[in-house]
Amino acid sequence: MAMTPADDALLETTTSQETTKFLNPESYDLDNPDLFINRELSLLEFNSRVLEEAQDERNPILERTKFLAIYSSNMDEFFMVRVAGLMQQVAAKVNDVPADGLTPTEQIRDIRKKVRSNLKIMNHCYDDIKGKLADAGVYLHAYDELTDDQREGVDEYFKNEIFPVLTPLAFDPGRPFPHISSLSLNLAVFVRNPDNNLEHFARIKVPNTLPRLVPVARLNSDTQRTYRFIWLEDLIAHNLSGLFPGYEIRQNFNFRITRNADLEIEANEASDLLEVIEATVRRRRFGFVVRLTVQKDTSDPVRELLTQNLDIELEDTFESSSPLGLSGLMSLMALDRPDLKYPPYVSVIHPRFRNIESRQEIFDVIKQGDVLVHHPYDSFIPVIDFLRAAAKDPQVIAIKQTLYRAGKNSPVVDALMEARENGKQVSALVELKARFDEESNIGWAKKLEREGVHVIYGFMSLKTHSKICLVVRREADNIRRYVHLSTGNYNAITANIYTDLGLFTCKPEFGADASDLFNALTGYSKKTDYKKFLVAPTMLRPRFAELIEREINWAKQGQEAKLIFKMNALIDPAFIKKLYQASQAGVQIELHVRGVCGLRPGIPNLSDNIKVISLVGRFLEHTRIYYFHNGGDPDIYLGSADLMPRNLDRRIETLFPIEDIDLKQQLIEILTIVAADEANARILRSDGSYVRITSPTEEKNKNNSQNIFMTRAKNR
């Protein structure tokens, strides 16, 4: 849906009608639950925007396929964490409700309704994508669609590669119902014994160690640009007789479950945080079931058997006409079909680092002035070079680093280990509690420890989410500290697909703050008076409140007052109320919130000075920028924190100011370009729904901020 003049008028009318349920505009009660959007429902709205990208025919067909895979993966995590948490609250009879006033039971009810609605959209989207892929020469065949020769080929693959891996598990009085692991795809099979006509149930797990999409031999008429696949579970289903010799296959259906992954960490479980996290990751395999997904034609007896033995309510069973677990579609992005993808983009080296002949010169560049890099438009390579230079430079005596999601084959970790081999003092805080990266981080922590790196696992009660690297270098008779700070992780892979900002600086006050922060992370410290940094959970919340109050005072004086915040999520009730108060005072507020937003914009005399925009595009918007106009002398902060209770109160976060005038101007330009985006933007309405700015028939590149940033980086 696009925003046309007629739509603007309709939106104004609709918004006016919606506000009738609110209190007298002259005396709003800011604790009124109607003024807040539920977090879980807002998150579902974000996932709906991802699904819209899969439906958008302006996107290349493989990119649409990718968005459909991302949507499926996002929904898996939503159930594993968010729905699981609500179910735990219901079981524990928790009476507390969030600011929006919905009880856990009411939230689950609304979630089920929205998920079922989106499932229908997803199934239609999959059918459309499947047809469009076939038109482009990429076929997702059903077994029955294959030629005799093609069936012979895939059956041979089944015999040699799949059959040896499969393990049918029977369910009868002598053999208990098998454990079903989370997110595993399974076949529920009923077989009949011809000797006594009795039927039996067995479960077969579809192995996740094999490709989900099995290549099929091409036809003689196919070109090199043609690809053919069959779903692995479909191939298994048509070869079941080999798994149950002598038995008649009566029926088989696919099913998939999702288990609770939001496991609490008890401080008294072990004497060591590493042991606690390892035990927690192991327990995750046995979390209670929160969702059962079955194929649409699954018989009632099978549904009943599964719900009873998985101990799940019937209303938590969802049916789909598409293959279950569409995240498997992501493998198609590896196809050599650039014509079906976005035009390739290769990140460019920032001009300040472009003519460096040796890595050690990177320190000279930073000494000449702060450098701001904008990923993925600017390459992540200078960040890696910064660490590699520190590892090799004989003048460097120490490196301190936080790692939240380092990823696989991390060049950042490699550089830290190289630095240790070269005799540097190296300390790394590896956050073991980074959800779904626990096992990877445990592996990196152990590997770093074996190399002699001082590894800190973080705190039992707080996650360390700060993104900071400190390099201590001896120069002449002085010690100089070089600091890299970022809005994103030290992950070379996600740096190519997430938009983030990073700052290189050697300003003494930044170096002093970095040292104080690392001393707090590795030792004992109650320090709160940092020179430049705003650090959670101690000083970020009160200082941010002061900065918003300052804008309110500017507005009350009749001066221009403005706030521009770009972040991933806005859900903290106290700050939502503060922004309402700022709007009432006349502060102009522009919020770029990619995901969850609990604030309702556009309510007369309350939030009519607030505009909320969400961008969903080629790259994942991940930057956090906080702009305070301050009477024309703006303060701008970047960092790792969103305005959520967990970031403000239960994490160690760092926001840092941008002080260089030219860099401030760069950030203002970034915010201006983002605000003008018409291709990727949706506007939040007061009822919690989002409306596109452009129609699906308009040019996708029209004022596309991400395309503009790519072009600017190449031309710079």
- pLDDT of 5 reads 38
Is residue 303 within 8 A of residue 315, CB to CB? The reply is no
Residue with tokens 């995750």: 284
Separation between Cα atoms, residue 467 and residue 454, nearest integer Å: 18
- pLDDT of 435 reads 75
Q: Is 131 helix (H, G, I), strand (E, B) or coil?
A: helix
Q: Is 332 helix (H, G, I), strand (E, B) or coil?
A: helix
126-165 residue pLDDT tens: 999 999 999 999 999 999 999 999 999 999 999 999 999 9
Tell which residue, 312, 318, 261, 667, has the closest CA to residue 499. Answer: 667
Regarding the domain delimited by 5-30+535-715, which CATH topology (the fold level of the hierarchy) does it fall under?
Answer: Endonuclease; Chain A (3.30.870)
- pLDDT of 279 reads 66
Residues whose CB is less than 8 angstroms from the CB of residue 682 and which lie 6 or more positions away in sequence, other chains included: 49, 613, 614, 615, 616, 690, 691, 692, 693
Lowest mean pLDDT among 104-113, 457-466, 486-495, 661-670: 457-466
Question: Please, which pLDDT band fits residue 188 given cuts at 50, 70 and 90?
Answer: very high
- pLDDT of 273 reads 63
- Residue 706 identity: Q
Separation between Cα atoms, residue 485 and residue 637, nearest integer Å: 11
Burial class (CB in 10 A: 0-12, 13-18, 19+), 692: buried
Q: Which helix (H) or strand (E) holds 567?
A: strand 562-567
- For residue 418, pLDDT over 50 is answered with yes
- Which has the higher per-residue pLDDT, 112 or 439? 112
CB atoms within 10 A of CB 1: 14
Average pLDDT value for the chain: 91
Average pLDDT, stretch 217-245? Answer: 94
575-632 residue pLDDT tens: 999 999 999 999 999 999 999 999 999 999 999 999 999 999 999 999 999 999 999 9
Q: How many CA atoms lie within 13 A of 52 on its CB side?
A: 21
List 238, 374, 375, 465, catalytic entry = 465
283-307 residue pLDDT tens: 666 789 999 999 999 999 999 999 9
Tell which residue, 360, 359, 383, has the closest CA to residue 371. Answer: 383
Separation between Cα atoms, residue 380 and residue 496, nearest integer Å: 8
Question: Please, which pLDDT band fits residue 392 given cuts at 50, 70 and 90?
Answer: very high
- pLDDT of 17 reads 41
- For residue 650, pLDDT over 70 is answered with yes
The pTM assigned to this predicted structure is: 0.92
465 catalytic? Reply is yes
Question: Which tokens sit at 436?
Answer: 């779904």
Average pLDDT, stretch 629-653? Answer: 96
Query: Beta strand pairing status for 396-403 and 620-621?
Result: unpaired
- For residue 21, pLDDT over 70 is answered with no
Question: Please, which pLDDT band fits residue 523 given cuts at 50, 70 and 90?
Answer: confident
Regarding the domain delimited by 104-339, which CATH topology (the fold level of the hierarchy) does it fall under?
Answer: polyphosphate kinase like (3.30.1840)
Question: Please, which pLDDT band fits residue 72 given cuts at 50, 70 and 90?
Answer: very high
Is residue 458 within 8 A of residue 424, CB to CB? The reply is no
Question: Please, which pLDDT band fits residue 459 given cuts at 50, 70 and 90?
Answer: confident
- Which has the higher per-residue pLDDT, 404 or 503? 503
Average pLDDT, stretch 91-111? Answer: 93
The b/e string for 199-215 (b: 16+ C-beta within 10 A; e otherwise) is eebbbbbbbeeeebbbe
Question: Which tokens sit at 398?
Answer: 């120490």
Is residue 372 within 8 A of residue 452, CB to CB? The reply is no
Query: CA 465, 470, 476: angle at the middle one, nearest 5?
Result: 170
- Residue 74 identity: N
- pLDDT of 23 reads 45
The three-state (H, E, C) secondary structure of 60-93, written as one string:
CHHHHHHHHHHHHHHHHHHHHHHHHHHHHHHHCC
Average pLDDT, stretch 367-383? Answer: 97
- For residue 540, pLDDT over 60 is answered with yes
Average pLDDT, stretch 38-51? Answer: 97
Average pLDDT, stretch 153-180? Answer: 94
Start-end of CATH 3.30.870.10 domains in the chain? 5-30+535-715, 351-531
Average pLDDT, stretch 102-112? Answer: 96
Average pLDDT, stretch 101-121? Answer: 97
- pLDDT of 440 reads 81
- pLDDT of 2 reads 43
Question: Considering the domain 351-531, what is its CATH architecture?
Answer: 2-Layer Sandwich (3.30)
The three-state (H, E, C) secondary structure of 91-120, written as one string:
HCCCCCCCCCCCCHHHHHHHHHHHHHHHHH
Q: Compute CA distances 252 → 119, 188, 201, 249, 299, whole Å.
A: 22, 5, 10, 8, 9
Average pLDDT, stretch 389-394? Answer: 96
Question: Please, which pLDDT band fits residue 8 given cuts at 50, 70 and 90?
Answer: very low
Separation between Cα atoms, residue 334 and residue 69, nearest integer Å: 13
- Which has the higher per-residue pLDDT, 590 or 436? 590
Question: Which tokens sit at 276?
Answer: 């606690």
